[in-house]
Structure 1
Amino acid sequence: MAPIGTLYTIPNQGLGKRILAVAALADITVDQPENFAPFEDNKKPEFTSKFPHGMLPAFEGKDGFCLTEGPAIARYFASLAPNSNLLGTSPKEAALVDQWVSFGDLEIHPHTHYIAQLVYGHMTPYHQSYYNAMAERQIRSFGTLEKHLSTRTFLVSERITLADISIASVLQYVFQLTFDAPLRARHPNTVRFYETVVNQPKLKGIFGETEHIEKAKQHVPPLKEKKEVCCDRTKAEKKPKAKDQDDDDDDVDLVPHEPRAKNPLDSLPKSEFNLEDWKRAYSNMDTRGPGGSLEWFYQKFDKEGFSIWRVDFKYNQELTQVFMSSNQIGGFFNRLEASRKYLFGSMGVLGTSNNSIISGVFVLRGQDIKPVVEVAPDWESYEFTRIELENAEDKRFFEAALAWDLEIGDKQWADGKNFK
């Protein structure tokens, strides 16, 4: 069968697998461009001209029909094969299919997402009580599934539907994060259901092998460097002294300390633009208007010694509550602490809950952003684009990010944080 169109998605993403699984059971094929680079190509004009929000997954039909949002694409594909019964065989079954799709997307997935943000340090500071609350809600969802599946092979009927594929696509990540051996022992019907779905002959190649963890993953705080501390003389082992050794030798450090490695940014030529002065000006002045911090900035900025960058989070499709996204920015800033003397930032959450993006600007020492931001382990989760103030659109973006009135598309500034 000829492909019905082109599917743009993120490799190994649950929503992408869901769509491909539905396509396989509906006996339809789609093209998947080999050279498509997620988080890059979906920001280009040729993509956003068809999909204005720039989100993935996205589908473009041969007839020019364009569609985004994974659940909508999966449902559309299922509707193209009515004899597959993927959407149920009656209005009641169709409603139940929608019910279970929503259950997976709105009950299981969000709690799993929050837990992942906590475990991997994207949401700081870490709160064990919040982790426990999310885990409790997640387990409650598992209990609902377990009870329902205790008398059924599939969720809605005796044949596999979109509901089963959707729940399985959500559960796969859960099995790799929190659904450990004790939970599997308490939810055998859920495990049996999952294995039945993903091992369907047409689906095995899409879902692949699932890693079943033995113990739920937990947050591991970053290790703090241990400082060399002179030993406690009250506890130190006393060694006999040579007869000609003076008592004062106890205080002599016979092993010289290695000199601390110098940051290459410190070797850059001195600049008249003082980043600490700028931070104080920004904090104490109105941003816009005569005598404001922007006026101060333009009078003193040294474009030879400093550069300005736009910062965009790559995984906006994972963002949910605005305050959670704001916490994520705070966590990123915390992990940039080692570069505080070289960096100023203003970043914000634009949009509303479950429909937001993270964006902003950095002003930093030097012309290369990598030496400044790579101190944060998650720096590659962000896209950095140089801002040229000679460009009117770049300048507008920069000023709006500093004034916290930035708008991108239909999304307005909702919350923000500064790195000073």
Structure 2
Amino acid sequence: MSAGILYTTSEVESKRIRAIAAYAGLSIDVKESGDVAKTPTFETTDGFKVFEAAAIGRYLASLAPNSTLLPSDAKDAALVDQWVAFTDSSVALSTSIALKLVRGSITPYNKPIHTHFLDTTIGALTILEKALVTRTFLATERVTLADLSLAAELQLAFSTIIDASARASLPNVLRHYETIVNQSAVKDVFGSTTYTEKSLQYTPPAKEKKEKKTEEAPKPKAEKKPKPAEDDEEDDRPVEEPKAKNPLDSLPKSSFNLEDWKRAYSNKDTRGPDGAIEWFYQHFDKEGFSVWRIDFKYPTELTQIFMSSNLIGGFFNRLEASRKYLFGSMGVLGTSNDSLISGTLIARGQDIKPVVEVAPDWESYDFKCLDLDNEEDKKFFEAALAWDLALDGKAWADGKNFK
């Protein structure tokens, strides 16, 4: 008898949840997303609904207390939750983004960002490699929810982006993966794995070839017709669509000239009585412009400082269409494998979305409007401009400007 219905459009999520259910001795039905607002969603026979793979997996594991999937000991259970969270944030996320880039689901393709997320996945697997040196399973001495969750994500990574050369440095991760997918209870769910020899690479779409016109027999010349009236002629002319005007151009004229600010920032000392910051306060128009704090949402994905700096540079490149409406100063704070990305933006208008949504990856960042009458916000803003910002004990390591 089925314990419920899983609605999902993702093969890896389906496999992950079906494996957990199978190990727990439960039967579930899998259907396309249907009318549910969020996938994956699991609905029980009595109408209870829960979404997100981690939450669904935990719920199913709780239905089989004797399966070892979810330990009764609080510390062991915390370790299971730890490795499930690590799988989602450090393996699944970066693998998914890397694959979307090479498959063209995120456009335009950006090589540095692709490399960043590929390296992030390998970095996460390196952490797992060290953790599994002395362990057969992740959290306890038996198969748990954490092992099955990881195996599903690894199968996707090993068959697409983690190639033979990368796998050669991950013998313990490979051993763990093979142990899990060959468990009798889940072997049919996982099936066989086709390991990729070479990591998938982006292939630009082929340019469409213009079809050659077939030669036709010459047509007899038609008699000249009287020239149509002017109104009739206009009906046949192609109408040129007016270029869409950026809504930011419709805002009332501002006394603050962004280009003058960019020159002042470039040519003056940042701080000081005649510095760029002082110039800013003398000329800033808070009705026509706004100041924002920007933070990268996934700091645990950041590895090498130069790679994180390249991530900022790529983001700035994709903001090119908003250059006349925007100024930015962003930096990498911290050290390799322990850093974050933060900074400030000065933007036309009071809404940041019309300015930054030209960059496909803008939703990878959090934006907070700063109040420069607030001392804490003012201090953050000035430090980001001066490149001496420090957060959570992490000092400014490298930075870039958008001017």
Q: TM-score, normalised by structure 2?
A: 0.58
Secondary structure at the aligned position of 1:179 is classed as helix
Query: Given the superposition, is the C-alpha separation of residues 372 and 183 from structure 1 closer, same or farther in structure 2, using an over 3 Å criterion?
Result: closer
Q: Is the 8 A contact 1:307 1:386 kept in 2?
A: yes
Counterpart pick for 1:26 among 67, 71, 74: 71
Unpaired stretches in structure 2, ≥5 consecutive residues:
1-50, 228-235
The answer on 1:369 being equivalent to 2:388 is no
Provide the residue aligned with 1:44 in structure 2. none
**Could you tell me which residue of structure 2 aligns to residue 88 of structure 1?**
none
Indicate if the aligned counterparts of 2:151 and 2:181 stay in contact, CA closer than 8 A: no
Q: Residue by residue, what CA displacement relative to the aligned partner does 1:108-157 show, whole Å, maximum 9, x if unpaired? A: 999969956964879985169969x969x89x98xx99xx9xxxxx9649
Q: From 261, 264, 279, give the equivalent of 1:296.
A: 279
Please give the secondary structure, in 2, of the residue aligned with 1:346.
Answer: strand
Which runs of no fewer than 5 residues in structure 1 stay unpaired? 1-9, 31-70, 79-101, 149-153, 247-252
Q: Does structure 2 retain, via aligned residues, the 8 Å contact 1:122–1:328? A: no
- Which residue does 2:179 correspond to in 1? 193
Aligned partners of 1:125, 1:382: CA distance in 2, in Å?
17
Kindly indicate whether residue 171 of structure 2 is the aligned counterpart of residue 126 of structure 1: no
SS of the residue aligned with 1:307? strand
Give yes or no for the alignment of 1:319 onto 2:302: yes
AA aligned opposite 2:267: N
Q: Which residue of 1 aligns with 2:363?
A: 380
Say which of 74, 79, 84 aligns to 2:79.
Answer: 74
Deviation at 1:406, TM superposition (A): 0.2
Q: Distance in 1 between matches of 2:70 and 2:394?
A: 37
Report the equivalent of 2:38: none
> Are 2:246 and 1:260 equivalent residues in the alignment?
no
Where 1:176 maps in the other structure, the secondary structure is helix
1:280 Cα offset (Å) = 1.5
Is 2:381 the partner of 1:398? yes
Alignment of 1:210-249 (within 5 A): 218-219=201-202
Contact 1:156/1:163 (<8 A) preserved: no
Contact 1:122 1:332 in 2 (8 A): no
Following superposition of structure 1 onto structure 2, how do residues 168-183 of structure 1 map, counting pairs within 5 Å? 169-180=149-160
Aligned-residue offset at 1:331: 1.7
Instruction: Report the AA paired with residue 246 of structure 2.
Output: N
Deviations 1:78-100 (A, max 9, x none): 9xxxxxxxxxxxxxxxxxxxxxx
In the alignment, the residues of structure 2 paired with residue 385 and residue 219 of structure 1 have an alpha-carbon distance, to the nearest angstrom, of 34
Tell me which amino acid in the other structure corresponds to 2:179: F
The structure 1 residue matched to 2:313, chosen from 300, 318, 330, is 330
* CA deviation after TM superposition for structure 1 residue 161, in Å: 3.0
Alignment length (residue pairs): 311
Matched with 1:47 is none
Match of 2:333 among 350, 353, 356: 350
Equivalent residues in 2 for 1:151-162, closer than 5 Å: 156=136, 161=141
- With over 3 angstroms needed to count, the CA separation of the structure-2 counterparts of 1:388 and 1:125, relative to structure 1, is same
Residues 337-380 of structure 1: CA distance to partner in whole angstroms, max 9, x if unpaired? 22111111111111111111111111000001111111222212
What's the CA shift for 1:172? 3.1
Is the Cα contact below 8 Å between 2:390 and 2:396 reproduced in 1? yes
Which string of whole-angstrom CA distances, capped at 9 and with x for unpartnered residues, describes residues 292-342 of structure 1? 111111111100000011111111122122112111111221222221111
Matched, 1:284 2:267: yes
Q: Does structure 1 conserve the Cα–Cα contact (< 8 Å) formed by 2:328 and 2:345? A: yes
TM-score, normalised to structure 1's length? 0.56
In structure 2, distance between residues paired with 1:315 and 1:181? 20
Q: Distance in 1 between matches of 2:269 and 2:110?
A: 30
Give, in whole Å, the separation in 2 of the partners of 1:374 and 1:408: 26
Letter matched to residue 395 of structure 2: Q
Per the alignment, in what secondary structure is the counterpart of residue 312 of structure 1? strand
Distance 1:350 1:194 in 2: 38
Cα distance change, pair 23–281 in 1 and its aligned pair in 2 (3 A): farther
CA separation in 2, counterparts of 1:121 and 1:278?
33
Deviations, residues 16-51 of structure 1 (Å, cap 9, x unaligned): 98xx99984422469xxxxxxxxxxxxxxxxxxxxx
In the alignment, structure 1 residue 416 sits paired with structure 2 residue 399? yes
SS in 2 for 1:344: strand
